[in-house]
């Protein structure tokens, strides 16, 4: 499914305006001309410029492009299933990660994705177990970003 560029541009323009509105609340650092909102503000202005270009292009091509074009993949049950598994995995993580934890949710999501993408179960199961552990170690030890433990501390 492809949306007209003008619609995408409007969404990006709204996002850039929201960012510019939000960075006004960032505190200033005494003695510095560049505060914490400078870099996000610059990116928001660049994003707004790209959004305006998209809106212009979408408006110019609206007759031949239409508002929404349905992609050929929507007629393929396999591709629709893969899309639903990916979106379902994200929703499952949002809902269950605090209760179950990153390691359990990551394992379940990866296993579902691997099986939907027709990875052999003999390979999918160990990869689904190892990858979340590696990702958790990278976030926890290297980046010092705590991921939710869920029920695992209770089990230890």
Say how far apart CA 30 and CA 21 lie, in whole Å.
21
Digit-coded pLDDT (tens) for 4-44? 888 899 999 999 999 999 998 888 878 777 778 888 999 99
- What pLDDT does residue 5 have? 86
The arithmetic mean of pLDDT across residues 103-109, rounded, is: 97
pLDDT digits (tens, 9 = 90+) for 40-87: 999 999 999 999 999 999 888 877 766 766 777 778 899 999 999 999
Query: Which of 30-34, 115-119, 144-148 is most confident?
Result: 115-119
pTM to 2 decimals?
A: 0.62
Which pLDDT score, from 0 to 100, does residue 74 have? 79
Rounded CA separation 78/91 (Å): 20
Contacts (Cβ under 8 Å, ≥6 apart) of 141: none
Residue 72 is classified by DSSP as G
pLDDT at 2: 73
Domain ranges of the chain: 2-70, 73-155
3-state secondary structure of 149: coil
pLDDT at residue 97, as a whole number: 95
């Amino acid at each position: 499914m492809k949306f007209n560029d003008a619609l995408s541009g409007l969404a990006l323009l709204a996002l850039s305006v929201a960012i510019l509105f939000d960075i006004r609340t960032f505190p200033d650092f005494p003695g510095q001309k560049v505060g914490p909102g400078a870099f996000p503000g610059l990116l928001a202005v660049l994003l707004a410029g790209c959004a305006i270009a998209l809106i212009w292009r979408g408006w110019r091509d609206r007759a031949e492009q239409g508002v929404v074009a349905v992609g050929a993949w929507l007629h393929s049950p396999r591709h629709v299933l893969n899309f639903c598994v990916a979106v379902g995995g994200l929703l499952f993580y949002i809902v269950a990660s605090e209760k179950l934890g990153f390691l359990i949710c990551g394992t379940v999501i990866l296993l579902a994705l691997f099986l939907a993408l027709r990875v052999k179960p003999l390979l999918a199961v160990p990869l689904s177990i190892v990858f979340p552990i590696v990702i958790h170690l990278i976030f926890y030890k290297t980046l010092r970003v705590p991921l939710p433990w869920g029920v695992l501390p209770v089990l230890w």
